[in-house]
Amino acid sequence: MRYLYTLAMYLVTPLLVLRLLVRSVRSDTTYRRRWPERFGFFKAPGFVGSLWVHAVSVGEVNAAEPLIKALRRDYPRAPLVVTTVTPTGKARVQQLFGDSVFHVYLPYDLPFSVSRFLKKVRPRLALIVETEIWPNLYFACRRRGIPLMIVNARLSDRSMRGYKPMRGLARPALRCVDLIAAQSRADAARYRLLGADPQKIMVAGNMKFDMPIPEGAVEAGAAMRAHWGPRRPVWMAASTHEGEELAVFEAHLAVLKRLPDALLVIAPRHPERFRLVENAGRSLGFSVATHSADGVPSARHQVFVIDAMGQMMPFFAASDVAFVAGSLVPIGGHNVLEPAALSVPVLVGPHTFNFEEITRSLIDQGGAERVGAVDCLGKEVLGLLLDPGRRERMGEAAQRVFDRERGAVQRIMQTIDALLQE
């Protein structure tokens, strides 16, 4: 099956090149210069024994942040290489770590591309974050004797169904992995069903519970509240997708009928939607401010669009309620831990399969509530904004869940130490 898979990869390579060219036209010159990295062509600064972390996009980079910082602390002499697939992931790596790590795009899973990449990076350890199964890459690591771990390993029911037809390919690829550090018992069970060696699976917990609150985020949030007025009702819709923004705006219209001074802070998930969301808000009659043009909203603004990446934490800290999007549409939800870490009550929609364990834990402990339907969002937000006691109880419960689940990075670092000693 791997030979058939590799043949298929070569057959679709012209389409991959066409896609790169199209994206290059739409993107800046930096992206155009770097697309050869997708085939393993890049200048590497003579690495020997690097520690390599792969995080596909923004969410995985955020999850990997505490692990990468722990690797820098415990192995200060080892070069750190971080790969991503998306430009937004690359931007987040640069924002978090600057030049302290070497970033390169992960090559396509073609044997020669993978070989070029590994020869230049020369890792002594490979760490794949969450759910990325690339058969040729995994087999190449095994042939070269490179220890391979999947950390913060997550496998939803939906992903499991997607991999099942390819189980004959996924199983031998997973057998190349030295250790799978799963987020939960359910994730560990799904990896076993997919064919991973049960002896090489551990439940380490979710690294996202170990994420640091950005320095100054709480203080910046407090300063914004002082600027807006501490009594002003503020709610946030984080990481929204197409099909959700209109529902969020309609919910805000319902909120404004009862609380005319309320403020909605909305953060679209993808940069290409920033301007679309801003224009949609204006077309609906809202007074709209944006992060790029205004910095922070004033008292006259009803909607504030965060049109920048990696800026949500101060606004979570300044909000009374956080709706975590990607959950009103079947995207699977996004990270509910960021508002929970700041004691902010959380609302989610019905589709949370990407973060099911965490979301269920928050709901069970009273730190989050589920909105059953799109047209119920405004009612739920308004109910929380009108009930400060309920908000306080939910925020405290969310914080307790966040604090209780910390420690995954320490457990993973212990296994990394053992692998490197071997």
34: pLDDT confidence band, cut at 50, 70 and 90?
Answer: confident
Provide CB contacts within 8 A for 53, sequence distance 6+.
64, 67, 68, 71, 80, 81, 82, 83, 127, 129
Residues of the chain within CATH 3.40.50.2000 domain(s) are 217-404
Q: What is the mean pLDDT of the chain?
A: 92
The CATH class that applies to domain 2-205+407-421 reads: alpha beta
Q: Which two tokens stand for residue 294?
A: 């205004």
pTM, two decimal places: 0.80
Reported as a single tens digit per residue, the pLDDT across 97-136 is: 999 999 999 999 999 999 999 999 999 999 999 988 999 9
Find tokens 């002499």 and name the residue: 77
Would residue 245 show up in a list of annotated catalytic residues for this protein?
no
Residues forming a β-bridge with 102: 81
Spatial contact of 228 and 321, defined as CB atoms under 8 Å apart: no
The predicted structure's pLDDT at residue 28: 61
Q: Indicate the range of 25-29, 45-49, 51-55, 361-365 predicted with least confidence.
A: 25-29
207: pLDDT confidence band, cut at 50, 70 and 90?
Answer: very high
Provide CB contacts within 8 A for 266, sequence distance 6+.
236, 237, 240, 245, 248, 277, 281, 303, 304, 305, 306
Reported as a single tens digit per residue, the pLDDT across 266-316 is: 999 988 899 999 999 999 999 999 999 988 888 889 999 999 988 899 999
CA 175 distance to own-chain centroid: 26
Q: Indicate the range of 10-24, 58-72, 177-191 predicted with least confidence.
A: 10-24
N- to C-terminal Cα separation, the chain:
32
The predicted structure's pLDDT at residue 367: 96
pLDDT at 341 over 70: yes
The predicted structure's pLDDT at residue 365: 95
Question: Mean per-residue pLDDT for 387-403?
Answer: 95
The predicted structure's pLDDT at residue 353: 87
The predicted structure's pLDDT at residue 160: 86
The predicted structure's pLDDT at residue 159: 84
d(CA 206, CA 406): 8
Question: Mean per-residue pLDDT for 199-227?
Answer: 91
Reported as a single tens digit per residue, the pLDDT across 177-194 is: 999 999 999 999 999 999
26: pLDDT confidence band, cut at 50, 70 and 90?
Answer: low
Q: Classify residue 194 as left (phi > 0), alpha (psi -120 to 50) or beta.
A: alpha
- Read off the amino acid at residue 238: A
d(CA 278, CA 280): 5
Q: Which two tokens stand for residue 132?
A: 């990325």
| Marked catalytic residue, from 37, 60, 132, 405 | 60
**Pick among 3.20.20.140, 3.40.50.2000, 3.90.1150.10, 2.40.128.130: CATH of 217-404:** 3.40.50.2000
Residues of the chain within CATH 3.40.50.11720 domain(s) are 2-205+407-421
- Read off the amino acid at residue 149: M
